[in-house]
A and B are shown apart, each in its own frame.
Chain A
Amino acid sequence: MFFKYIYTAWQEIKQHPSRNLLATVEIILAVACVILFFGITAGIQQQIEKNYNFSQRIITLHSGQSVVRDVEGQITEYNIAHSIGAEPNLTKADWQVLREHPEIEVTAPIVNLHAPISNAEGTLMGNSHVIGTDENLISVLGQSLAYGNNALDSHARTAIIGNEVARELFNNSQPIAHEIKIANQTFIVTGVLESIDQLNLFNLDVNYNRSVLISLEAVNGLKSQPAEDISMSKILALSYQLPSDQALQDIDEEILINHNQRDFSLYRNSELLPLLDSILQFLKTLAIVLVIVFLGVGGFSLMIALQSSLRQRRIEINVRKIVGATNFQILYQIIIEATVLSVLGGFLGIILGIMISIFISYLSPVEIVLHLDSLAYVIISMPVLGLIFGLYPALQASSQNPDQRIYE
């Protein structure tokens, strides 16, 4: 009987495909949102975890006070906008402090420069960065070169380019030893970076794939500044092991002496992770709330559509009752129909969600992970949704007296 009712539900869906599709459109969208939201949060979490092990050893010093600590020294607030928009105020003296600390293995200063980048033919690269640094940056970031060598010569004007720069300006041909122009000054490409995972949350301010790395001295030349006056926006330091609290305190005190005020931020990257975790949890909770709302709306629209459908099928229901169906059998049949509709909507929603996820992953740096958990939630919740929201129309239809309407 159960399979017979499923067959009857399928027949009804086949007979009125557009009406039934409209009934499930909210559910389809809701389920697609479930897949997408959970996929995005899972993707972000995966990327954070992927970078976590390495990033634990990195200390970041950057201009602007974007980190707020409590009395115990725990970070309670991280204002990412301050870190991106702050005026560069780190000096060579600050760099020296980090370089000389016994726990620090390597350091890499970062000076951001906005300048037009073009190839020898004059083709301009849009939305790009010029970064003044030294050859240690690549190892501090834990990245590697696709090809070429990691030489940023202060005298010969050499540059290491990101892989998107190589693709756009050199059309995937070998760019090594080719010219690249930065603010109309010629540099020679010595290396191309491997594609860098941009959703590493420690690289949010700069897209290294669309950057050109040059030496600090070369930046001075472009800015027409003496070397002593150079101001850095960030200095990354890689420690031998997990940086100790004492090391951080020592560095902080020395930098404070250099600056006379707290206009800088110093932290271990690993300290940001709990904060990011709480943001992630918030996003997950928000996603769950939104999903519940969407599914509720979807279920409600299913109920309304089912009511309308049953009103049009009252003669059929009456005939079924007259030929001997009990109220319970009619109720059971309609609930199965509602469940079939919601499961079908869920299935189509899963397909739509997967397609949108693939589309977004292709077009953006956001990595979306298709979480089995979200599929499980959908598979379990769809029949429940059909049962809950099909109950009222089923009760209405099953309780109607057959004789009153049979002759319409």
Chain B
Amino acid sequence: MSYIKLDNISQVFGFGNTTRVALQQINLNIEAKSFVIIMGQSGSGKTSLLNVLGLIRQPIQGVYNLSGQAVTELSNSARAKLRRQKIGFLFENFNLSPNLNVFDNVSLPIIYNRPLNFTSRSNLVKEALNRLGLHNKEFLYPKQLSLAQAQRVAIARAIIHKPDLIIADEPTGRLDSKATDMIMKILKTLNQQGITIIMATHNPFLSQYANRFVYLHDGFLKVNQTLQPNQQIDITKIQEAIQKQAWRRKNKSASTDQLVKTKTGLRD
């Protein structure tokens, strides 16, 4: 049984003349302990898909099963409870509260999760920070950290409550290559320790860390394939293929469609 199962998921924003379809009939199965890279151009629906997977937004259509539990119809508070128990989040801008020090930022998920005394909370925070090589930085503020350190603090916040799933939206978007490499290795390690990671990115080089690749285009899931270890995706080819498919569809050329699909693994 899949850890994550999306059945015919659609998402729409706005209404009337401003309606925008963000996701269109997405069907996706993700096994536990997978490392999934989601790519696509801007506006392709990556963030919307992450919002649905992270229980931040309810889709307007379809069924979402997380770890065998149907979560589509849950109330806001039930989803919030699931998020703080099972899901960790990473963002491109780290989204650390500037008013709180590292200790308080990292302990945010467990404040809402279950009542803990200061000692227990402190131990969990220190454990999370030590895992990421950030010991002795509990009392610094985000503005006193480098970008890589800030993202590591964000990772500590994402894992402190021992989630099964991490949703990461462009976690390396603001980092240089060295820092990117460090963060990706940390995520890979977490994945090897059993955490399912779903990450959106524009950087095709990061696909070498993943074992699953998903490509979205205009809200449709166009590519969903398993990756070999250290396999890199050639994104240009995929984009070209999509363009050709669109052109062919417009001109209704079936044979070329079939050829393109065979070559690239594209789906309708």
A325 vs B84: C-alpha distance when bound (angstroms): 8
**B-side contacts of A324, CB under 8 Å:** 80-81, 83-85, 109, 112-113
Least Cβ–Cβ distance between A362 and chain B, in angstroms: 42
Chain B CB within 8 A of A319 CB = yes
A326 vs B78: C-alpha distance when bound (angstroms): 9
Partner of A402, one of B56, B93, B104: B56
Whether A1 contacts B99 by the Cβ 8 Å rule is no
Chain B CB within 8 A of A329 CB = yes
7 nearest A-B residue pairs (beta carbon):
A324-B84, A316-B97, A15-B99, A323-B109, A326-B77, A403-B56, A324-B83
Least Cβ–Cβ distance between A333 and chain B, in angstroms: 10
Partner of A325, one of B54, B98, B112: B112
Partner of B54, one of A318, A322, A326: A322
Q: Which residue of A lies closest to B78 (CB)?
A: A326
A88 vs B81: C-alpha distance when bound (angstroms): 87
Least Cβ–Cβ distance between B122 and chain A, in angstroms: 13
Whether A319 contacts B81 by the Cβ 8 Å rule is no
Whether B169 contacts A322 by the Cβ 8 Å rule is no
Q: Is the interface of A mostly helix, strand, loop or mixed?
A: helix
**B-side contacts of A316, CB under 8 Å:** 95, 97-99
Interface residues contributed by chain A, number (CB under 8 Å): 27
Could you mark each residue 300-315 of chain A with 1 if its beta carbon is under 8 Å from any beta carbon of chain B, else 0? 0000000000000101
Q: Which residue of A lies closest to B154 (CB)?
A: A319
Partner of B115, one of A1, A16, A328, A401: A1
Q: Which residue of A lies closest to B13 (CB)?
A: A404
Q: Kindly identify, within residues 345 to 382 of chain A, every residue whose CB is under 8 Å from any CB belonging to chain B.
A: none
Whether A15 contacts B98 by the Cβ 8 Å rule is yes
Given contacts A403-B51, A407-B169, contact A321 B80 (CB under 8 A): yes
Q: Kindly identify, within residues 58 to 95 of chain B, every residue whose CB is under 8 Å from any CB belonging to chain A.
A: 76-77, 80-81, 83-85, 89, 91-93, 95
Other than A324-B112, A326-B77, A407-B91, give 5 A-B pairs with Cβ distance below 8 A.
A319-B97, A323-B83, A323-B109, A401-B57, A406-B91
A16 vs B99: C-alpha distance when bound (angstroms): 9
Could you mark each residue 21-32 of chain B with 1 if its beta carbon is under 8 Å from any beta carbon of chain A, else 0? 000000000000
**A-side contacts of B113, CB under 8 Å:** 324
**B-side contacts of A157, CB under 8 Å:** none
**A-side contacts of B111, CB under 8 Å:** 1, 4
**B-side contacts of A403, CB under 8 Å:** 47, 51, 56-57
Q: Kindly identify, within residues 390 to 408 of chain A, every residue whose CB is under 8 Å from any CB belonging to chain B.
A: 401-403, 406-407
A37 vs B82: C-alpha distance when bound (angstroms): 54
Whether B112 contacts A323 by the Cβ 8 Å rule is yes
A78 vs B51: C-alpha distance when bound (angstroms): 77
CB < 8 Å A-B pair total? 74
Least Cβ–Cβ distance between A194 and chain B, in angstroms: 60
Whether B99 contacts A326 by the Cβ 8 Å rule is no
Most buried by B among A11, A319, A329, A401: A319
Given contacts A1-B115, A327-B77, A402-B56, contact A322 B89 (CB under 8 A): yes
Q: Kindly identify, within residues 1 to 54 of chain A, every residue whose CB is under 8 Å from any CB belonging to chain B.
A: 1, 4, 8, 11-12, 15-16
**B-side contacts of A8, CB under 8 Å:** 99-100, 104
Most buried by A among B84, B85, B89, B97: B97
Given contacts A322-B54, A323-B89, A326-B76, contact A315 B95 (CB under 8 A): yes
**A-side contacts of B57, CB under 8 Å:** 401, 403
Chain B CB within 8 A of A320 CB = yes
Chain A CB within 8 A of B134 CB = no
Partner of A319, one of B76, B77, B108, B115: B108
Least Cβ–Cβ distance between B198 and chain A, in angstroms: 15
Q: Which residue of B lies closest to A315 (CB)?
A: B95
A8 vs B80: C-alpha distance when bound (angstroms): 21
**B-side contacts of A407, CB under 8 Å:** 47, 91-93, 169
19 residue pairs of the A-B complex, CB under 8 angstroms, read A4-B111, A11-B104, A15-B98, A16-B99, A321-B80, A323-B89, A323-B108, A323-B109, A323-B112, A324-B85, A324-B113, A325-B84, A326-B112, A401-B57, A403-B47, A403-B57, A406-B95, A407-B47, A407-B92
Given contacts A8-B104, A324-B83, contact A329 B112 (CB under 8 A): yes
Chain A CB within 8 A of B157 CB = yes
Least Cβ–Cβ distance between A309 and chain B, in angstroms: 10
Whether A11 contacts B77 by the Cβ 8 Å rule is no
**B-side contacts of A12, CB under 8 Å:** 99
A324 vs B51: C-alpha distance when bound (angstroms): 14
Least Cβ–Cβ distance between A367 and chain B, in angstroms: 46
A325 vs B115: C-alpha distance when bound (angstroms): 13
Q: Which residue of A lies closest to B85 (CB)?
A: A324
Least Cβ–Cβ distance between B47 and chain A, in angstroms: 7
Q: Which residue of B lies closest to A7 (CB)?
A: B104
Q: Which residue of B lies closest to A316 (CB)?
A: B97
Whether A322 contacts B83 by the Cβ 8 Å rule is yes
Least Cβ–Cβ distance between A149 and chain B, in angstroms: 73
Least Cβ–Cβ distance between A264 and chain B, in angstroms: 73
A325 vs B97: C-alpha distance when bound (angstroms): 15
Q: Which residue of B lies closest to A322 (CB)?
A: B89
Least Cβ–Cβ distance between B50 and chain A, in angstroms: 9
Q: Which residue of A lies closest to B115 (CB)?
A: A1
Whether A325 contacts B95 by the Cβ 8 Å rule is no
**B-side contacts of A15, CB under 8 Å:** 98-99
Whether B99 contacts A11 by the Cβ 8 Å rule is yes
**A-side contacts of B95, CB under 8 Å:** 315-316, 318-319, 406
Whether B80 contacts A325 by the Cβ 8 Å rule is yes
**B-side contacts of A327, CB under 8 Å:** 76-77
Q: Which residue of A lies closest to B98 (CB)?
A: A15
A316 vs B99: C-alpha distance when bound (angstroms): 9
A11 vs B108: C-alpha distance when bound (angstroms): 14
A4 vs B117: C-alpha distance when bound (angstroms): 11
Q: Kindly identify, within residues 95 to 132 of chain B, every residue whose CB is under 8 Å from any CB belonging to chain A.
A: 95, 97-100, 104, 108-109, 111-113, 115
